[in-house]
Amino acid sequence: MQNAAAVSTAARSAAAASRRGTARSRAARDGTERVIRGALLGCALLSVASTFTILVILLAQTGQFLAMPEVSAWEFFTGTTWSPLLGAEKHFGIWPLVTGTMLITAIAAAFALPVGLVVAIYLSEYAPARVRTALKPVLEILAGIPTVVYGFFALTVITPFLHDHVSESFGTYNALGAGIAVGIMILPIVASLSEDALRAVPRSLRDASSALGSTRFDTSVKVVVPAALSGIVASWLLAITRALGETMIVALAAGGLAHMTANPADELQTMTAYMVQIFLGDAPAYGVEYRSSYAVATVLFAMTLGLTIVGNLFLRAFREEYE
Amino acid sequence: MNAGPSATMTNPANTSSPNEINLRKPDFQSAAPAPNGAPDEVAIRADKFDGWYGEFHALKGISLEIPRCRVTAFIGPSGCGKSTFLRWMNRMNDSIVGARASGTLTLDGEDLLSRTRDVVELRRNVGMVFQKPNPFPKSIYDNVAFGPRLHRSFRSSDLDELVENSLRAAALWDEVKDRLKSSALGLSGGQQQRLCIARAIAVGPEVLLMDEPCSALDPRSTASIEQLIRELEAQYTIVIVTHNMQQAARVSDRTAFFFEGSLIECGDTDEIFTNPRNKRTEDYVSGRFG
C-alpha cells in the first residue's frame, strides 16, 4: 500500500502532464465532424438512389410495354399463354411464368425449410462443440458455391438419378431436378440463420426446462424452437426470396418452355429464366419481347417485396422477448 | 415464523419484515405430494462427496445430511462450491462438459449419481428455482402446465385445477387469476420468481432446490418469497443457496457454511449464527470476510 503523500504527488504530476502538448481547437473538431457526416450521408444516398433508379427504370419500361399495340394489360395480368418468341401470334399472359416460378420455389422450400431446421436443431441442441465448430463453416462455404455449379449438378446428377430410379418421364429438363438443386442451394441459409436464432435463446430457458424433467428433445421442440420462432421464420422467408429470384439453376436445368403445369417431371420456364433468354440475344433491343422482360421483372420484384413485407409483419406480431 | 436467529441477526436498516405482507394461506390439495417420510428424517445424504469441473476440484469431501420438510441454507463466499453442490442434487451438472463426481449422494437412500439413475424421474422429484427468474416466453398458464404436460396426459379440468393449486401454493393466484392466458413476461420480477416456484411445484416434487432465488429481486419481493419458503416448508424439503446471511438466518432451520470447496460447518441455524464452533464460520457470519 502506498502512503497518502505519494498518492497525492502522483495525482498532481498526472494533472500537470495532461495539460502538455498542443490543444485541438473546437473549430478543427467541428470541421472534421462535418466532413465525416457529409461522407456518411453521401454513401447512404448513393445506395438509396441506385435502388430507386432501378425501380424507376423498371416501372417506366413496364409502362411502355403495356402501352404497346401487341399487348394488353388485361391479358398480361390474367392470361395463361406466354409465347413471345414462337408462332405468328404473340401472347403475353404472365401466369405460366408465375406458376413455373412458384412450382420451383415450392419444391425447393418443401425440401430446404424442414431439413434446414432439423440441421439447425442438431447443430444448436445436439452436436458436441467440436462437431459444431467443424460443420458451421462448411455450411457457410456451401452458401458461397456459385449457383451455376448447382445448375449443372442438377443436369448431370439429379436429373439422371430421377430418370433412372424414379420415373422414365423425367426428361433432360424438368422442374423437380431444378427445384431440388435450388433447395440444396438455400439449405445453408435456413440452417445457418435458424441455428443463430436457436443459439440466441438464453441458456436459462433450457435449464428451466431440463430442471422440470424435459428430455433434450422436449426442450428443443417445446421451448427452444417456439422461443426462436421469429428468427426461424425470418430465415425461411429469406430462403424463399432467394429461391424466387434464383436464375442460373433454373435457366440450366428447368428448360425454356413456358406453360402452366403442376407436374414436377415437366419442363417449365421461370420468370428469371425468361429474362436470361431475352437478354442473351434472342430478341431485338427495344422490341416488344425486350420490353416484356422488364414487365416480368417488375412482377417478380412485386412478389419478393410482398413477401418481405408479410415477413416483417409476421416478425413484429410473433417476436417473443426472452426476458 | 421468525424464530430465534432473526432476533439477533436481523439488521432493521436494510430488511423489511416478511410479516408486512399478508399472504393467503396456500391450498395444497393436488399440487403437493404426501411427504415421503416423517419430517426431520434424512432426505438427502452426502458422504465424502467430491466434485470436479475438468481439473478443478470444486467440492472436497462433503458429508452432510439434509432433513425432510425443513429449510437448509448453504452459505459461503462466491466460488465456494455451494451452487455446484446444489446442481448435483438434480444432476443439472450432467450437461456441463467435464463435470464429474465421486463419493456418495443419496435421496431417500437411493444413489443420485448412478449412471443408471433415471434423470427425468429424479428431476420430477427434485425441483429447482434459479437465481434469475426464467419463465418461458409463454402464457402464465402454459408455464405452470409445462412440467405436468411433460409427464402425464391430463383432462383439461384436472390440469386447470393443478395450475390453480400450484399458483395458490406459490401465493400468486390472486394476482394472476384474471390473466392466466397473458404472457408470463409481463409479470414483475418477484411475480416471475413466484411463477417459477409454482412451475416447479406443479410437477409434484419432494425437494425444492433454490439457487439464490432472491438475488435479482427488490426487498419487498424478497420478503414475499421468504415468507413463501417458510410456508412451503411443511410440504417440501427445501435447500436454498444464498449470499445474504440475514436471509439464511430468517428462512432456514439448518445452515451449512462452505469455504473453498469444503464444508466448514453444518448445524442448526441458531447455532451457526450465534455460537459457531469454527473460527472461519464466525468470521464469515459476522461479516469479517466474504
CATH number of the domain within which B131 lies: 3.40.50.300
Return the C-alpha cell found at B10: 436481523
Give the minimum alpha-carbon distance from A141 to chain B in angstroms, rounded to a whole number: 29
Q: How far is A212 from chain B (nearest CA, A)?
A: 6
Written as one letter, the residue type at A279 is F
* CB nearest to A208's CB, from B124, B130, B151: B130
Cell numbers for B95, please give them: 450437461
B11: in domain: no
**Cβ of B137 and A321 within 8 Å?**
yes
| CA pair distance A284, A236, nearest whole angstrom | 39
CA distance B86 to chain A (A): 12
DSSP conformation letters of A125-167 = IIS-HHHHHHHHHHHHHHTTS-HHHHHHHIIIIIHHHHHHHT-
Contact A77, A94 (CB under 8 A): yes
**Minimum distance, in Å, between the CA of residue B150 and any CA atom of chain A:** 7
> In Å, what is the CA distance from A310 to each residue of A230, A305, B50, B211, B279?
13, 9, 56, 43, 68
In a domain, B94, yes or no: yes
Pairwise CB contact (< 8 Å): B128 & A320 = no
Does the distance separating the beta carbons of A211 and B128 come in below 8 Å? yes
The reply to whether residue B134 touches residue A227, judged by beta carbons under 8 angstroms, is no
In chain B, whose CA is at the least distance from the CA of A321? B137
Q: What is the per-residue pLDDT for B10? A: 39
- Asked if residue B127 lies in contact with residue B208, where contact means CB atoms within 8 angstroms, the answer is yes
Q: Do A211 and B132 touch (CB under 8 A)?
A: no
Q: Which B-chain residues 115-134 have CB contacts (< 8 A) with chain A?
A: 120-121, 123-124, 127-128, 130, 132, 134
Count Cβ–Cβ pairs < 8 Å, chain A vs chain B. 65
For residue A200, how far is the Cα from the chain centroid? 21
Q: Which residue of A has its CA nearest to B150?
A: A214
In 3D space, the residue among A258, A297, A298, A293 whose CA is nearest the CA of residue A279 turns out to be A293
Which residues in chain A have their CB less than 8 angstroms from residue B206's CB?
none
* Closest chain A residue to the Cα of B192, Cα to Cα: A323
Residue B8 inside a domain? The answer is no
Rounded to whole angstroms, the Cα distance separating A223 from B121 reads 19
Q: Tell whether A308 lies on the interface with B, counting CB pairs under 8 A.
A: no
Q: Which three cell numbers stand for residue A161?
A: 438419378
Say yes or no for a CB contact (<8 Å) between A207 and B130.
yes
Measure A319 CA to nearest chain B CA, in Å.
Answer: 10
Cβ–Cβ of B150/A213 closer than 8 Å?
Answer: yes
Residue contact A212–B146, C-beta within 8 A: yes
Q: Are strands B71-75 and B254-259 parallel, antiparallel or unpaired?
A: parallel
Note whether B150 contacts A: Cβ–Cβ < 8 A: yes
Portion 228-287 of B in contact with A at CB < 8 A: none
Q: Quote the ipTM score.
A: 0.82
CB contact under 8 A, B137 and A227: yes
Q: How far is B120 from chain A (nearest CA, A)?
A: 4
Q: Which residue ranges in chain A fall short of pLDDT 50?
A: 323
Contact A320, B137 (CB under 8 A): yes
Residue B247 within any structural domain of the chain: yes
**CB distance A212–B134 less than 8 Å?**
no
| Residue whose entry in the numeric block shows the C-alpha cell 399440487 | B31
In-domain check, residue B134:
yes
| Separation CA A243–CA A109 (nearest Å) | 8
Nearest to A192 by CA among A111, A137, A129: A137
Number of CB atoms found within 10 A of residue A96's CB: 24
**Is residue B7 domain-resident?**
no
CA dihedral of A278, A283, A284, A287, whole degrees rounded to 10: -80
Query: pLDDT tens digits for chain B (290 residues)?
Result: 344 343 334 344 444 444 333 333 333 444 444 455 677 788 999 999 999 999 999 999 999 999 999 999 999 998 899 999 999 999 999 888 889 999 999 999 899 998 888 999 999 999 999 999 999 999 999 999 999 999 988 899 999 999 999 999 998 999 999 999 999 999 999 999 999 999 999 999 999 999 999 988 888 889 989 999 999 999 999 999 998 888 999 999 999 999 999 999 999 999 999 999 999 999 998 887 75
What is the rounded CA–CA span in Å between residue B220 and residue B229? 14
Q: Assess A203–B contact: CB distance below 8 Å, yes or no.
A: no
Please indicate whether, in this complex, the C-beta atoms of B136 and A202 are within 8 angstroms of each other.
no
Query: In which element (H, E) is residue B34 found?
Result: none
Which of A201, A212, A225 to probe by mutation at the B interface, max B CB count within 10 Å? A212
User: How many whole angstroms separate alpha carbon B119 and alpha carbon B87?
Assistant: 13
Nearest to A208 among B95, B134, B150 (CB): B134
Contact between B148 and B159 (Cβ < 8 Å) = yes
Phi, psi at B101, each rounded to 5°: -145, 155
Measured between beta carbons, the chain B residues lying within 8 angstroms of A225 are none
Interface test with A, best of B87, B91, B150 (most A CBs within 10 A): B150
This prediction has a pTM of 0.81
For A132, the grid coordinates are 459444431
Closest B-chain CA to A224: B136
Chain A residues close to B92, C-beta within 8 Å: 207, 210-211
CA-nearest of A95, A88, A97 to A70 is: A88
User: How far, in Å, CA of B140 to CA of A183, rounded?
Assistant: 39
Domain range for B121: 39-285
Residue of A nearest to B122 (CA): A213
Give strand ranges (E) for chain A: 82-83, 91-92
- SS3 string, A233-256, reads HHHHHHHHHHHHHCCHHHHHHCCC
Q: Which of residues 134-193 of A touch B (CB under 8 A)?
A: none
Q: Is position B107 within any domain?
A: yes
Q: Test A213 with B199 for CB contact under 8 angstroms.
A: no
Residue A73: phi, psi to the nearest 5?
-60, -40
Reported as half-sphere exposure (CB side, CA atoms, 13 A), residue B37 has a value of: 13
Residue B18 lies in a domain: no
Number of domains in chain B: 1
Chain B residues in contact with A214 (beta carbon < 8 A): 120, 150
